[in-house]
Structure 1
Amino acid sequence: MANLISNGLSLEYETFGASSDPAVILIAGLGFQLIDWPAAFCEALAAEKFHVVRFDNRDIGLSQKLEQKGLPDLPRLMQQLQTGQPPEVPYHLSDMAADVAGLMAGLGIDRAHMVGMSMGGMIAQLMAIFYPEKLYSLTSIMSSSGNRHLPPSTPAATSVLMSAPASQAVEDVVAFGLQVNDVIGSPGFRWDRAALEEHIRACVVRSYCPTGYLRQYAVVLAANPRVSELPGVTAPTLVIHGKDDPLVPYAAGEDTARLIPGAKLELVDGMGHDLSPALCDHLAGLLIPHLAANRAG
């Protein structure tokens, strides 16, 4: 792994495959680190002659933390959103898209296949909106257009998202991670329990920054809907969404695909809101043909 300065921030990244092959940028979701994209998944894409880049978003993993921005006041933010006041957030999703553009520039990548999950899907959509010349294709996974009229998360998913570990001790954080996956994970693509526990522990030991997570969460809550911009997206688009996603119901995937001209929609039975190894094996089977069909734009 390595780091570079992008958009004024230090970002941690890792690559797979030859740099001469078409690039695939993997953009992680809220609170997810680059290692949440399984290495086997990245290697499967690289084996198809793609140059795969996974990285830590700002405020997470080994990328730069913006502690000087402080903690967001979530109750006040919710009140601002409900009353139509300008939301006070530490930064915006458009800043995170600029991070991706800067990462590409630092790596000498002119164009790439943009693949984002959840919050990362929102960032990938913004890349297609603001930097269309940088995309070969777009893939939006378990994400949303931000349409305010879409169905909400289930009460259980909302509750666990708003919860916290019993303490900041590693074992309590790992136990909480297991609890979250029990609620929002993929029922048809379950993790092996021991492997999941080992993975969560590896993430916590690598970097645990709850303040960064809260800043990212505030940014997602306050993000402007992309409903009016997505019809202008020209990148060939694949939308993948789980039919068993309790956090971002699959109506959000249907809405995203409807808004983007020519988008292909794949609804997956048994897929929830995680990146289990079994699910990523299935995602690779959906993603590789899309990347191959649009290999050079």
Structure 2
Amino acid sequence: MSERTSDADEQLADVGRGITLGYRRSGSGDIPLVLIAGLGQQMHEWPDGLCGLLEGRGYDVIRFDNRDVGKSTHFGFPPPGPLNFLRKRWHPEQYDLSDAAADTVGLLDVLGLSSAHLVGMSMGGMIAQTIAARYPHRVASLTSIMSTTGAPRVGRPALSTWRLMFGRPARNRDEHIASAVRMYRHISSRGYPFDESAVRAAAATTWDRDPHPAAGVGRQLAGILKSGDRTTELGAVAAPTLVLHGDRDPMVNPTGATVTARAIPNARRHTLPGMGHDLPVGVWPTLADLLDTHIRTARSTDAPHH
């Protein structure tokens, strides 16, 4: 069993199958809330300010690095090149979203949690969806933010976004920060001010925790594409589900929310006006309200989870 730290120190958890995840657990509440980050993102991409709002509402907030980023286990095989991505030719060791889902369930085991409320953004939403479909008894509620089902022709990045994603990998910290600013200027929420200093600070932390992250990000992207269309599987999700998406998202087109809400039985969809593919400070109070209402509604209607 892992002890909870009051100061949100980072810890490591052996989640099985040779995988170790770096994680942080914060807040003195008794409602376990697991935040699952997106493609290439580390745990700090869930902003401390948003986590603080959730902690203040009684949540035990758990953030972690997915496999292949940050302080978690990295794989040694090369990521696919652009041609292999197009042909969907994967390395024999290439994992998929179900492996990342199993990692997360392994973290719940280490933390002694029989179930938790899952909130995932982008790729993290896909992982959370997969957990809810395959491990229904472990998921008290599901919130899928700016994500999609893998269905073809929907929820896909704009062509301009693909071009940025396949740009030359950063060779040093300064290049990485500059690249992050370029990407977030492109995908950020048009309805909110662009906070370049926050993007720079997060990118610096990313590089300092895990220099040269491009290969891991490439393997994660391959894991998404290898998983294919998960629409049918999502019909098995039993957890109360909230689907959140901005209306200005060039990374995961808002059609991704439409198909997700359609695939998951009784899912509720909510559009956040002006939000792109990030979590600007101006959206934190609304997001905290939406999550809190959704989770407390799920708890009130499902006695075993309180």
- The normalised TM-score by structure 1 is 0.92
1:78 to 86, 100, 105: 86
Q: Contact 1:93/1:219 (CA < 8 Å) preserved in 2?
A: yes
Find the aligned partners of 1:34 and 1:281 in 2 and give their Cα distance.
20
Does 2:207 match 1:204? Answer: yes
Of stretches 222-231 and 98-107 in structure 1, the one that deviates more from structure 2 is: 222-231
Q: Contact 1:45/1:284 (CA < 8 Å) preserved in 2?
A: yes
Does 2:108 match 1:104? Answer: yes
Q: Contact 1:24/1:51 (CA < 8 Å) preserved in 2?
A: yes
Give the structure 2 partner of residue 59 of structure 1: 68
Of all paired residues, the percent bearing the same amino acid is: 37
Give the structure 2 partner of residue 256 of structure 1: 260
Q: CA deviation at 1:87?
A: 7.8
3-state SS, counterpart of residue 217 of structure 2: helix
Paired AA for residue 70 in structure 2: G
Find the aligned partners of 2:209 and 2:103 in 1 and give their Cα distance.
21
2:35 to 23, 26, 29: 26
Mark the runs of 5 or more structure 1 residues left unpaired by the alignment: none
Give the structure 2 partner of residue 276 of structure 1: 280
Q: CA deviation at 1:168?
A: 1.2
Paired AA for residue 78 in structure 1: L
2:23 to 13, 16, 36: 13
Q: Contact 2:185/2:194 (CA < 8 Å) preserved in 1?
A: no
Paired AA for residue 80 in structure 2: P
Q: Contact 2:31/2:59 (CA < 8 Å) preserved in 1?
A: yes
3-state SS, counterpart of residue 12 of structure 2: strand
Does 2:186 match 1:183? Answer: yes
| Structure 1 residues 4 and 152: alpha-carbon distance in aligned structure 2, compared to 1, 3 A threshold | closer
Q: CA deviation at 1:76?
A: 2.2
3-state SS, counterpart of residue 235 of structure 2: helix
Find the aligned partners of 1:152 and 1:169 in 2 and give their Cα distance.
29
Q: Contact 1:17/1:50 (CA < 8 Å) preserved in 2?
A: yes
Q: Contact 2:80/2:91 (CA < 8 Å) preserved in 1?
A: no
Q: Contact 1:77/1:87 (CA < 8 Å) preserved in 2?
A: no
3-state SS, counterpart of residue 231 of structure 2: coil
Residue deviations 1:107-156, cap 9 Å, x none?
Answer: 10110001100101000001011100001100000000111132632221
Find the aligned partners of 1:36 and 1:231 in 2 and give their Cα distance.
29
Q: Which structure 2 residues correspond to residues 89-238 of structure 1 after superposition, within 5 A?
A: 90-150=94-154, 152-165=156-169, 167-208=170-211, 209-238=213-242
1:46 to 26, 51, 55: 55
Q: Contact 1:72/1:218 (CA < 8 Å) preserved in 2?
A: yes
- The normalised TM-score by structure 2 is 0.89
Over the residues paired in the alignment, what is the CA RMSD in angstroms?
1.8
| Structure 1 residues 203 and 87: alpha-carbon distance in aligned structure 2, compared to 1, 3 A threshold | closer
Find the aligned partners of 2:56 and 2:203 in 1 and give their Cα distance.
27
| Structure 1 residues 178 and 193: alpha-carbon distance in aligned structure 2, compared to 1, 3 A threshold | same
Q: Give every structure 1 segment of 4 or more consecutive aligned residues whose post-TM-superposition deviation is greater than 4 Å.
A: 86-89
Q: Contact 2:88/2:226 (CA < 8 Å) preserved in 1?
A: no
Find the aligned partners of 2:88 and 2:63 in 1 and give their Cα distance.
34
Find the aligned partners of 1:108 and 1:189 in 2 and give their Cα distance.
39
Q: CA deviation at 1:174?
A: 0.4
Residue deviations 1:88-125, cap 9 Å, x none?
Answer: 56111100000000000001011000110010100000
Tell me the matched-pair count: 290
Does 2:295 match 1:291? Answer: yes
